[in-house]
Amino acid sequence: MACGPVVDQRYLKDLEGARRDLASIIQRKNAAPVLLRLAFHDAANYNVTNNTGGVNGSVRLRQELSQPPNKGIEDGVKFCEEVKKKHPRVTYADIIQLAGVLAVELSGGPCIDFVPGRMDTNVADKLNIPNPRGGADHLRRTFYQMGLSDKDIVVLSGAHTLGRARKENSGFNGPFTRNTLKFDNSYFVELMRGETPGLVKFPTDKALVQDPVFRPLVELYARHEGAFFRDYAESHKKLSELGFTPSLHVWRWM
């Protein structure tokens, strides 16, 4: 059963408190990578065909969180639970997606529009998380199910600039870029360089430079960080609203 919030001035005040607490957690605990991954995983289960799943907080549920593709994001859920306890009127879904937005912004990335009002669910979603061992066709099947485009696939992959792969989670071990806490275009720069000692590239990462449609976008973002930031902010907003219809009131963190 879904439970949607009334986005009034009291809710916005509570959400501002949640924002401050999330920002503190990100900065004190270097939590940007895990919170960004958590936000992605809560959104990625959206199915555009039947309008199910999406940004509904289901990733926190044991049945969903315990699935292998979600391994490693438990700390992100704990951080959001900590914020939820202090601001119980704010939905898990809003907290999780706000955490993803702040993870990008506080790591040096672009500002992303955020509209509150997501509803929570108590029913686990069917998983639709990309397999890092997949190729271009796998990426398209996964992201097309969400209603996302080839451009979205490439630009959102740039979020790998934060964090690292861990063997116990993905079977791979190591960072994707040299600074795992800085949001920039270095993921694409490293893709264009090819194999680099000490850095990890998933098969799905390599597919971006091998596919004739994906590669020109990789080249663009490697050359122009501004273009990456512009397109990333647009695609991240889209991801953060999968399965959610915002009100006409557009609210953005300043």
Backbone angles phi and psi of 164, in degrees to 5: -150, 160
List 41, 87, 160, 236, catalytic entry = 41
Q: What is the pTM of this model?
A: 0.95
What pLDDT, on a 0 to 100 scale, did the predictor assign at position 246?
Answer: 84
**Residue holding tokens 């360089």?**
193
How is the chain split into domains, by residue range?
Answer: 9-128, 136-235
What pLDDT, on a 0 to 100 scale, did the predictor assign at position 175?
Answer: 97
The verdict on domain 9-128 having CATH code 3.40.50.970 is: no
Per the annotation, the verdict on 87 as an active-site residue is no
Q: Mean pLDDT, consecutive 10-residue segments, the chain of 254 residues?
A: 78 97 98 98 97 97 95 97 98 98 98 96 94 97 98 98 94 96 98 95 97 98 98 98 78 44
The verdict on domain 136-235 having CATH code 3.20.20.70 is: no
